[in-house]
Structures are given as C-alpha cells and as structure tokens.
Amino acid sequence: MAASPVFGHVGTAQPGDLFASRLELSLRGQHRPRRAGVGATAALGAESIVLAEQYEDDAYHDDHFWYAGSGGRDPKTGRQVTDQAPNDYRNQGLMRSERTGQPVRVFRRIAPGGDRQFRYEGLWQVVAHTYGPGKSGFQVFRFKLKPWQ
C-alpha cells in the first residue's frame, strides 16, 4: 500500500477494470480505506471514492453525479441520523480537491456478492459542493463530480 496519496491512475488500472472486493482495492492501492467511501486527507485532498449507491442524498446523471459527504450515518442502516461535521477530514479532502482541481479515482459497486464487485469508473473532478438539509432533514455535504479533463 502506498505511503502517501496518489492522485490519478494507480499502476496499470484503466476505466472498466473490475475488482473483487474492497480488500483488493486497498491492497492494490486503488482505494486505500477498507471500509470508508472516501480516501482522503484534509491537507492533500481526495484521491478516491467508492459509489455504493446506498445513500439517499447521492444522485446519478449521465454526465455527472452528486456524492453525499461523510459522517452522520447510522453504521447499521446507512441512514442519515445527524448533521455531517464540516471538520470531517474526508469532507475537507473533497473540498480541497475542488479547490485544486486534481483528479479523484472513482469506483462503483456493481454486483454485491458477485465474483467482481467493483468497477473502476476512471478519473473525475470535484467541481462544486453544497451544505444544506438532505432528504432526512440533516445538514449534509453534497459534492458534484464530472469526468476529469
């Protein structure tokens, strides 16, 4: 596993590549956290995210998506139960990436329980964010990502 964040492609991975598990993503340095959806540091930015398509404030479109920030979720249900904290390092990392324009690797969960569960979606860029009431009424960050150019 890499000692510091890598922004951009890692190794020979290309969009469309499939990975068996979060453990494989972590061991190959693609998405270092084994559980968290955001691989980031507040100081350097977000290097990768995993789209699990299980959070009510995420929204997917043909040319962009909105990714709900980190924190405030019940660990068992995934439902938002409190406000997200602005000082969460993962949210700060995504905001830092918005300021710097650096690419973020995106992985999508495609087949829960299947042989290959995650697909590499390529490099994306955080282009905007909001902080306001989500669908459950709690304050949440939402980050807009578009394909990196």
What's the pLDDT tens digit per position in 119-134? 999 999 999 999 999 9
Domain 18-147 has CATH 2.30.290.10: no
Whether 50 and 65 have beta carbons less than 8 Å apart is answered as no
**Residue found under tokens 């955001």:** 38
pLDDT digits (tens, 9 = 90+) for 89-146: 999 999 999 999 999 999 999 876 666 789 999 999 999 999 999 999 999 999 999 9
- For the full predicted model, state whether its pTM sits above 0.95: no
Tell me how far apart the alpha carbons of residues 117 and 85 are, in angstroms, rounded to a whole number: 30
58: nearest Cα among 87, 78, 81: 78
Which distant-in-sequence residues (6+ apart) come within 8 Å of 116 by Cβ?
18, 19, 20, 110
CA-CA distance, 132 to 14, in Å (whole number)?
35
Q: What is the DSSP letter of 97?
A: H
CA distances from residue 148 to 21, 63, 71, 122, 123 in whole angstroms, order as listed? 25, 11, 26, 8, 5
